[in-house]
Amino acid sequence: MERTLCIIKPDAVRKNVVGEIIAMITEKGFRILGMKMIRLSSQDAGEFYAVHKGRPFYNDLVEFMTSGNVVVMALEKENAVVDYRALIGATDPAEAEEETVRKRFASSKGENAVHGSDSVENGIKEVAFFFSERELIG
Ligand code: GDP
């Protein structure tokens, strides 16, 4: 079993498509181990995306991710990381496959509806960034 972190980003929360995105995820067989709606602080967002510090879009990314509520979910499934990345589609919705979350709901490369961990190691780390073990269903 693998873990991956989903964040439903502020653009998707504003569009009121949280329920549709959760349905797409559960229909693919992911189990939700933990879920909460929160507002990220600049410090949270900056730390979460620290790997992108110095990239030209970093400040915009932090500003966007703190612009409204997000829904964070710890997901579990066999091959969760690769399967969830396939479900959400490419970073840029213009390049995302049909029927992916980003093709359906993202408006741009920056405002792209959802986050997904990019490796098994980061899946574990990112779930732990938002959830303590006792918040997760065993
Ligand atoms: P992901 O793993 O598909 O989310 O993509 P990355 O790890 O490359 O980038 C992280 C996040 O930064 C993306 O999901 C976007 O929200 C944002 N981002 C990446 N590239 C760009 C860009 O060129 N412009 C803007 N505005 N945001 C970007």
Q: Which atom of ligand 1 is nearest to the CA of 64?
A: 16
Ligand 1 atom 17, closest CA: 110
Placement of tokens 């066999």 in the chain: 78
Mutate which of 8, 11, 52, 57 for ligand 1 pocket (most atoms within 8 A of beta carbon) = 57
pLDDT per residue, tens digit, the chain (138 aa), is 999 999 999 999 999 999 999 999 999 999 999 999 999 999 999 999 999 999 999 999 999 999 999 999 999 999 999 999 999 999 999 999 999 999 999 999 999 999 999 999 999 999 999 999 999 987
Q: Which atom of ligand 1 is nearest to the CA of 51?
A: 7
**Run of H or E residues at 121:** helix 120-130
Ordered structural domains, the chain, with CATH:
2-133 (3.30.70.141)
User: The whole model's pTM is what?
Assistant: 0.98
* Position 43, amino acid: Q
Q: Which of 2, 40, 3, 17 is nearest to 101 (CA)?
A: 17
Q: Which of 127, 97, 133 is nearest to 30 (CA)?
A: 127
Ligand 1 atom 25, closest CA: 110
